[in-house]
Amino acid sequence: MSRSVLVSGGCGFLGSHLIDRLLRRNDLERLVVVDNLWTGTRDNIAHVTDPRFSLQIADADSFSSGERFDEIIHLASPASPIWYMREPIRTIKANIGGALNLLMLLKPGGRFCFASTSEIYGDPQVSPQPESYRGSVDCTGPRAAYDESKRCTEALLFEQQRVSGLDVRVVRIFNTYGPRTRMDDGRAISNFVIQALTTGVLTVYGDGSQSRSWGYVDDIVEGLERFFWRDSISHRGPLNIGNNHEVSVLHIAEFVSSLVPGSSIEHQPPVPQDPTNRCPDLTLARHLLPGWEAKTGYQEGIARTFEWFRQRIAATRM
Amino acid sequence: MSRSVLVSGGCGFLGSHLIDRLLRRNDLERLVVVDNLWTGTRDNIAHVTDPRFSLQIADADSFSSGERFDEIIHLASPASPIWYMREPIRTIKANIGGALNLLMLLKPGGRFCFASTSEIYGDPQVSPQPESYRGSVDCTGPRAAYDESKRCTEALLFEQQRVSGLDVRVVRIFNTYGPRTRMDDGRAISNFVIQALTTGVLTVYGDGSQSRSWGYVDDIVEGLERFFWRDSISHRGPLNIGNNHEVSVLHIAEFVSSLVPGSSIEHQPPVPQDPTNRCPDLTLARHLLPGWEAKTGYQEGIARTFEWFRQRIAATRM
């Protein structure tokens, strides 16, 4: 049975990796990417030559089409704080407006997959965070437009599942890094790598003791692929996907710095409401996706990311 | 300085009481109510003859006008669980879509007031709930579309305040009851009163030990009026408005039953995720609104509500 799939945000960091995996599917008849290139880039999909693929430059909340899709994967949203804090309205529209609009493009009985986030846990009071944890988000705070629009989109989808039987799949993705991150993304690992390769001074906000579980993109996208379409899973989520090996921001900075002799670390004041910790409870993921784990250690993942950025920066200097 | 005011949801229970107070303002030049009559009714404003008033039957998320307003008060949303659980998409559109759309109708420098809710605290783990409490909402649960759309609209407004200096006022309204509640509203006090006056059998879900702070509508609307326009307050909220005298659902049922000799109480299975308690910390309200309190005791408030429903039911029987 051939399938038509729409991916919103398919030119983004995660999205473009997911596109590569979708195009390996034999049952894929047609893949439409809807992206407004706000944080995504054409570069991320420049290598795609598959005739089943097409790109529509449009906002997820207003894209219209006469076509209906068997599967919709809704990724459209900025994911980096400096991006979503700058444009809260646009962030809310991308997530909630995007979901409301794209639901109308789903065939009856079709599947709607959504990339939620560990940010829905806010600054968590329990660690690791199981999916049942209700979170600690300040809904009036400086990160709230992103956190709450992800929470509300989850609510929308699970309510539609209850009210109309919608086939939903919701993942909560923890910190992810790797090739195809924007140069100006602003999150820790890509920042450190670029700073090490350019100015030689790595900026740590606060004392760097805040910890994160750093997931290498290949591992994360493997989890998404298995949950969204490859494995036969009836559970709808939410499902935590991430690396549960917590490493402090300072330790990551020190490791990146060690790759460039002569580079150094400077500290800046902490970012408001930066979570002190974030670590997935992966009990459910291990149960639903036997054998899956975020196996790439930070040393290996960062080395690959470093090499990708090194080549990019070298290319722009030529 | 004469002011133009738009109220979304002005035909609703709370909205219509607020309209009565707005029309007492000498500086009011024009009052436009936008209501789609989903849960609001024309009856609630049938007594209004003021020439400054006009009603536009429209959805808050799509209403358009060439006019710009000095003040917008966004109340459009169902507020009763049986109503918002039935139509989650419409609930999200009313709140978030409504706020996004109405923001475009605000004059530069205008004030945007929003009725949020104690539901943003979910099933609270602290009691009473101060405004700083982050809440315990299951964003995948059966009440999530309402709770999360209120949370996300708060996020939207406070982010816009930060990004663009928007003059916002956000109240979190706790349980409110009184005249002009719909007959089929479905919340406890009006249900008990109508059941006592008709079938004589009052339905309590669960054992009735869940407690609420029951605010009589006049007291609540007095708080809104003072915070939204009457007092000169620079604080933007969120501000809890409610009665902090907790009374159990069973006790309320017993009191209503005592008004109709021969009536009785029956128990039904508990409602999923019905909060066990809800009580506002009013420290901030007392500070910002000196002298304000929800002073109407439940006996007096219920007696007035009872009499209003008695007359309505008698009128429909004639």
pLDDT of B139-190, one tens digit each?
999 989 999 999 999 999 999 999 999 999 999 999 999 999 999 999 999 9
DSSP character at residue A129: B
Parts of chain A belonging to CATH 3.40.50.720: 3-177+215-241
**Cα B280 to the chain's mean position, in Å?**
14
- Whether A154 and B144 lie within 8 Å, measured CB to CB: yes
What is the mean pLDDT of the segment spanning B79-95? 96
Residue A272's pLDDT is 80
What is the mean pLDDT of the segment spanning A15-38? 98
A247 — pLDDT class (breaks 50, 70, 90): very high
Q: Does A238 touch chain B (CB under 8 A)?
A: yes
Residue A211's pLDDT is 87
pLDDT at B318 over 80: no
Residue A70's pLDDT is 98
Residues of chain B with Cβ-Cβ distance to A87 below 8 Å are: 163
What is the mean pLDDT of the segment spanning A168-192? 96
Closest CA to A17 of A75, A102, A94, A99: A75
pLDDT at B1 over 80: no
Reduced DSSP (H G I as helix, E B as strand, rest coil) percent helix, strand, coil of chain A, to 5: 40, 20, 40
Q: Does A284 touch chain B (CB under 8 A)?
A: no
Residues of chain A with Cβ-Cβ distance to B139 below 8 Å are: 120, 134-135, 151-152, 154-155
Residues of chain B with Cβ-Cβ distance to A98 below 8 Å are: none
Tell me, yes or no, if B298 is annotated catalytic. no
What is the mean pLDDT of the segment spanning B117-134? 96
Q: Does A287 touch chain B (CB under 8 A)?
A: no
- Whether B100 and A120 lie within 8 Å, measured CB to CB: no
Q: How far is it, in rounded angstroms, from Cα B262 to Cα B72?
A: 47
- Whether A120 and B142 lie within 8 Å, measured CB to CB: no
What is the mean pLDDT of the segment spanning B56-80? 98
Long-range contacts of B94-97 (CB under 8 A, 24+ apart): B94/B9, B94/B38, B94/B59, B94/B60, B94/B61, B94/B149, B95/B146, B95/B149, B95/B150, B95/B152, B95/B153, B96/A92, B96/A96, B96/A152, B96/B149, B96/B152, B96/B153, B96/B156, B97/A97, B97/A100, B97/B59, B97/B60, B97/B61, B97/B62
Residues of chain A with Cβ-Cβ distance to B85 below 8 Å are: 159
Parts of chain B belonging to CATH 3.40.50.720: 3-175+215-241
- Whether A170 and B238 lie within 8 Å, measured CB to CB: no
Contacts of B203 (CB under 8 A, 6+ apart): B191, B195, B265, B266, B267, B268
What is the mean pLDDT of the segment spanning B241-258? 96
B273 — pLDDT class (breaks 50, 70, 90): confident
If you measure CA to CA, which chain B residue comes closest to A86?
B163
With beta carbons less than 8 A apart as the criterion, state whether B8 and B38 touch: no
A278 — pLDDT class (breaks 50, 70, 90): confident
Of A271 and B117, more confident: B117
Residue A175's pLDDT is 94
Listed by number, the residues of chain A in 121-140 with a beta carbon closer than 8 Å to a beta carbon of chain B are 122, 134-140
Q: Does A6 touch chain B (CB under 8 A)?
A: no
Residues of chain A with Cβ-Cβ distance to B155 below 8 Å are: 88, 92, 139-141, 144-145, 147-149
With beta carbons less than 8 A apart as the criterion, state whether B56 and B33 touch: yes
Parts of chain B belonging to CATH 3.90.25.10: 188-212+244-279+298-317
pLDDT at A16 over 80: yes
- Domain B3-175+215-241 fold is Rossmann fold (3.40.50)
Question: Tens of pLDDT along A51-84?
Answer: 999 999 999 999 999 999 999 999 999 999 999 9
Domain covering B188-212+244-279+298-317 in this structure, CATH number:
3.90.25.10
Residue A255's pLDDT is 97
Parts of chain A belonging to CATH 3.90.25.10: 188-212+244-278+296-317
Residue A275's pLDDT is 80
Q: How far is A163 from chain B (nearest CA, A)?
A: 7
Residue A67's pLDDT is 97
Residue A19's pLDDT is 98
Q: Does A89 touch chain B (CB under 8 A)?
A: yes
Residues of chain A with Cβ-Cβ distance to B162 below 8 Å are: 142
If you measure CA to CA, which chain B residue comes closest to A239?
B140
With beta carbons less than 8 A apart as the criterion, state whether A96 and A83 touch: no
B278 — pLDDT class (breaks 50, 70, 90): confident
Contacts of A99 (CB under 8 A, 6+ apart): A74, A112, A114, A153, A156, A157
Q: What letter represents residue B83's amino acid? A: W
Residue B91's pLDDT is 98
Average pLDDT, chain B: 96
> For chain B, what is the HEC assignment?
CCEEEEEECCCCHHHHHHHHHHCCCCCEEEEEEEECCCCCCHHHHCCCCCCCEEEEECCCCCCCCCCCEEEEEECCCCCCHHHHHHCHHHHHHHHHHHHHHHHCCEEEEEEEEEEEEHHHHECCCCCCECCCCCCECCCCCCCHHHHHHHHHHHHHHHHHHHHHCCEEEEEEECCEECCCCCCCCCCHHHHHHHHHHCCCEEEEECCCCCEEECEEHHHHHHHHHHHHHHCCCCCCCCEEECCCCEEEHHHHHHHHHHCCCCCEEEEECCCCCCCCCCCECCHHHHHHCCCCCCCCCHHHHHHHHHHHHHHHHHHHHC
CATH class in words for A188-212+244-278+296-317: alpha beta
Note the CATH architecture for domain A3-177+215-241.
Answer: 3-Layer(aba) Sandwich (3.40)
Residue B195's pLDDT is 97
With beta carbons less than 8 A apart as the criterion, state whether B188 and B212 touch: yes
Angle at Cα A193 formed by Cα A192 and Cα A195, nearest 5°? Answer: 65
Residue B206's pLDDT is 93
Question: Tens of pLDDT along A95-149?
Answer: 999 999 999 999 999 999 999 999 999 999 999 999 999 999 999 999 899 999 9
With beta carbons less than 8 A apart as the criterion, state whether A96 and B92 touch: yes
Of B278 and A298, more confident: A298
Q: How far is B136 from chain A (nearest CA, A)?
A: 6
Residue B275's pLDDT is 80
Of the candidates B84, B146, B216, B298, the residue annotated as catalytic is B146
